[in-house]
Structure 1
Amino acid sequence: MIPRVTVLQLDTSFPRIAGDVGSPDSYARPPQIIKIAGASVGQIVTDKPQDIDITPFAEALHHAEGDIIVTSCGFLSYWQVQLAKLCDRPFISSSLVALEQLAPDIAPEALRILTFDAQRLNAAHLGVHSAYAQSILGLPPTHHLRQVISRDLDVLDEDAARAEITDLLVQSQTETHCHILLECTNLPPYRAAITAATGLPVTDILTMIEAACPGAVAPRFS
């Protein structure tokens, strides 16, 4: 039986292209998408994650049917332990929890964490791995993908987003960098282009889903 994924998705309407955590085309089996009413980007993408009301997310877990449960926003990493305790299945709040596996082998200066908003992602989201705050790189406010997400636009130019993202990473890359971690769950569609442009391996929400629940992700994104 092909595993099924349940996605606790923010209350957004922007396009979810293949590779996005909220796109059915990202998975080997149609996912269950539970949209969390009222959970806007503005409310969840905050530098004070402790103030997020996770009650709607906790309630949504009671309706989750998937073999693995994930959220659509990496800024929920602060609540990983609390929400996971409510599940009897694997739960991934954010790709940032991969720091548990990456940190023993990769120093902060060797890791690039690409996020939606570097002004708001901070040590609080990283828990015991707060030293990796220095690894954070954010999408500039003018970037197309950030505009689409923050303004909840209904048109996404995939080519423009890909070009801006790869250019940003290449321009900031140093000889020290050896791995890239994509915080934003809307970035995996560009993973192949990122690897091709930088030559570096990439960890994102989809690679984490596949590692925890083999066969769940569509082969081209696993």
Structure 2
Amino acid sequence: MIYRARSGQASYGEAIGILLLDSFTPFIPGDVANATTYDFPVRFQKVEGLTTRRVLGKDPTAFEPLRAAAEDLAGQGVRAVTGDCGFLALHQERLAASLDIPVFLSSLLQIPFIYSIIGPGRKVGIITADSEALDASLLLAAGVEPGDRLVIRGMEDRAAFSEAVLEEAGVLDSAEVERETVSVGREMVAEEPMIAALLLECSCLSPYGRAVQKAVGLPVFDYVTMINYVHSALVKKRFEGEM
């Protein structure tokens, strides 16, 4: 087999490129921004100046630095670009139109798929970083019609999560954040028995998906679910076996 180098590319084999916010948060195993989360290599690219505050505030000027970072990832050979904040959905359509490779910025993009597998009348519970910021405009940007099939609860009033992720104290008490996340999941399901699946919007919540699932007994989707799915479409497995 003959391989050819690509001009300007320094390394190879990273199908997924991940755009990271400019934040000061410990990214533990299971987090989108921790390389050990994946069974395959990924390439990270921090978007300088794109802070959590700017994204949660839906700053429209965030698009240009996001686009520049995404183009850099594409130039380094990745075959699809994702992000590490569900609120990046605001830029999904525009960025997808700007690149020649697939773009899947937000965990919220999974909602139409989840609807299709749980049946009519059933609801999707979303655990988000900030329930006030996750409004109709953001849902529509992710291709989701707001309505009574969605149950949204936020982590903004949970002390350990808020301090680590929203206030960026630089320290994260993983056990306490897990307890808080599980508590929110249990409360949602108790209040809304028609919930048939949960989605963890925030990339920092992915490490707690198993604990939430064990507590509520429902399918739990998150950023890592989505990234693994897209990777499986980009890098197909060669099957060998016996008949």
Task: Please confirm whether the aligned pair reaches a TM-score higher than 0.5, indicating the same fold.
Answer: yes
Q: Does residue 152 of structure 1 match 2:168?
A: yes
Report the CA distance shift for 1:108/1:155 in structure 2 as closer, same or farther (over 3 A). Answer: farther
Cα deviation, 1:76-134, whole Å, max 9, x if unaligned, reads: 11221111122222211101011221234556861101100001110101114222685
Q: Which AA in structure 2 matches 1:51? A: P
Q: Aligned residue for 1:75?
A: 87
Whose radius of gyration is greater, 1 or 2? Answer: 2
Higher relative contact order, structure no. (Cα contacts within 8 Å, ≥ 6 residues apart): 1
Size of the alignment, in residue pairs? 215
Which 5+ residue runs of structure 2 have no aligned equivalent?
A: 1-11, 235-243
Q: Does residue 57 of structure 1 match 2:57?
A: no
State the superposition RMSD in angstroms: 2.3
- 2:129 corresponds, among 116, 130, 142, to 116
Q: Which AA in structure 2 matches 1:88? A: D
Q: Provide the secondary structure at the position in 1 that maps to 2:195.
A: coil
Cα deviation, 1:126-170, whole Å, max 9, x if unaligned, reads: 114222685211014343122101121222111111111101211
Q: Does residue 143 of structure 1 match 2:156?
A: no
Aligned-pair CA distance for 1:215: 8.7
Give the TM-score normalised by structure 1: 0.88
Q: Aligned residue for 1:40?
A: 51
Q: Aligned residue for 2:181?
A: 165
Q: Provide the secondary structure at the position in 2 that maps to 1:61.
A: helix
Give the TM-score normalised by structure 2: 0.80
Q: Aligned residue for 1:220?
A: none
Aligned-pair CA distance for 1:25: 1.0
- 2:196 corresponds, among 160, 164, 178, to 178
Q: Aligned residue for 2:6?
A: none
Task: Tell me how far apart the structure 2 counterparts of residues 189 and 149 of structure 1 sit (CA, whole Å).
Answer: 14
Taking only the aligned residue pairs, the percentage that are identical comes to 27
Q: Which AA in structure 2 matches 1:196? A: K
Task: Tell me how far apart the structure 2 counterparts of residues 137 and 3 of structure 1 sit (CA, whole Å).
Answer: 34
